[in-house]
Amino acid sequence: MATTPTIGVVLLHMGDRPVQLAEALSTLRAQRDVELDVVLVGNGWEPHGLPDWVRTVHLRENVGIPQGRNVGASEARGEFLYFYDDDASLPTPDVLSRLAAVIGADDRVAVAQPRGADPTGKPAPRRWVPRFDVRDGGRAGSATWFWEAVFMIRRTAFEQVGGWPGQFFFGHEGIDLAWRLVDAGWRIEYVPSVVVHHPSTDAARHDIFYRTNARNRVWVARRRLPLPLVPVYLATWTGVMMLRVPDARSRSVWLDGFREGWTTDPGERAPMSWRTVGWLTRAGRPPVI
C-alpha cells in the first residue's frame, strides 16, 4: 500500500489579508490523501486568531519573502514542501495529493508547479506560466523555471541546493533557486491540469518592485552565470525593462537598483556549468533571456 505523502506547508502573512488567509486555510484543510504540517510565518506580524492545527513563527521584522520562507521551511515537517501565498486558495481537495504524486513518481523531479487561475476570471499574468507560449495555460512537461507563489518541492532537493536566497527580499529568488536545481541535475515539472486560484495582480504594485527587480537581476547574473554570459543577460534585460517600464521616474528607480546590484554583495558565486547552459538552451530558455 502506498504511503500518504507528508507535506510541510509554508505560508507568510503580515496581518493585512485576514479574509484571504481564512480562505487559503479553509481550502488547505479540505485537502485529502495527504498529511499536512502547516507553518505560518508572521513576517513582521505576531500571529493570532488562527486554527489550532496551524503552527506559527513570529518574526519581529519583515525579513522579505525568500528569507521568511526559509524560516518556515526549517520549521515545517514533511518529505515535500508546499509554498503557498496567503491570498491563494485550492479549488479542489486533491491539489496537493496530485502534485505530490508527480514528484513521487520520478526520483529526478524536484518541483511540481500547478497552473494559476484568477478565481474571478481575469487573465493570468505571463509570469505564472513557465513557457514562452502561454496560450491555454501553456503545455505540460519539463520546465526551466517555476512560479514561486504556489508550488511543491522535494525537501531533499530544496536542502541540497541551499534553499531560497534570503538576501533577495523580493524578486527573482525563484530564478536563482530554479537554476541551482537544474544545475544540480533536478527536473522541474509544470502541471497545468492541476489548478490553484490566485488573484491576478501586477507585481509592480509593490513600492520596492523596480529597485529590487533590477538589483536582484544583477545579483542572479553575478551569482549563477558563467562570466561571458553576464553582460549578455544584463544587457538583454536592461533593454527589455526600458521598454516595459512605463515612466521616467520608475526607469530611474530601476537604474538605481541596477547600480546597487553591482555595488553590493550578492552572496556566494557558484556559476552554473556550461552543460547546464546547453540544457537550458535546448529546453527553449537559454539563460540570457
The pLDDT value recorded for residue 206 is 65
125: in domain: yes
Alpha-carbon distances, residue 116 vs 31, 55, 87, 181, 194 (angstroms): 17, 26, 12, 22, 9
pLDDT above 70 coverage of the chain, percent: 98
Q: What is the pLDDT of residues 84-99, one digit of tens each?
A: 999 999 999 999 999 9
Q: Is residue 277 part of a domain?
A: no
CA distance 149 to 85: 5
pLDDT digits (tens, 9 = 90+) for 99-149: 999 999 999 999 999 999 999 999 999 999 999 899 999 999 999 999 999
> How many domains is the chain built from?
2
Q: Whole domain around residue 234: which residue ranges?
A: 204-271
Give the whole-number percent of the chain exceeding pLDDT 90: 91
Return the CATH number at 121: 3.90.550.10
| Grid cell of 42 as nine digits | 508572521
Beta strands, E only, 128-215: 141-143, 150-154, 187-197
Please, what sign has the CA dihedral across residues 143, 148, 149, 155? positive
Q: DSSP letter for 192, please.
A: E
Q: Are residues 165 and 136 in the same domain?
A: yes
* Rounded CA separation 184/146 (Å): 16
Same domain as 192, residue 91: yes
Residues 49 and 181 in one domain: yes
Residue 281 domain flag: no
My answer on whether 101 and 218 are in the same domain is no
Residue 246: pLDDT band (50, 70, 90) is: confident
Does residue 43 lie within any of the structural domains?
Answer: yes
Note the pLDDT of residue 205: 67
For residues 194 and 216, state if they share a domain: no
Q: pLDDT, tens digit, for every residue of 197-211?
A: 999 987 766 668 899
Residue 280 lies in a domain: no
In this prediction, residue 1 carries a pLDDT of 36
Q: What digits encode the pLDDT tens for the residues 53-89?
A: 999 999 999 999 999 999 999 999 999 999 999 999 9
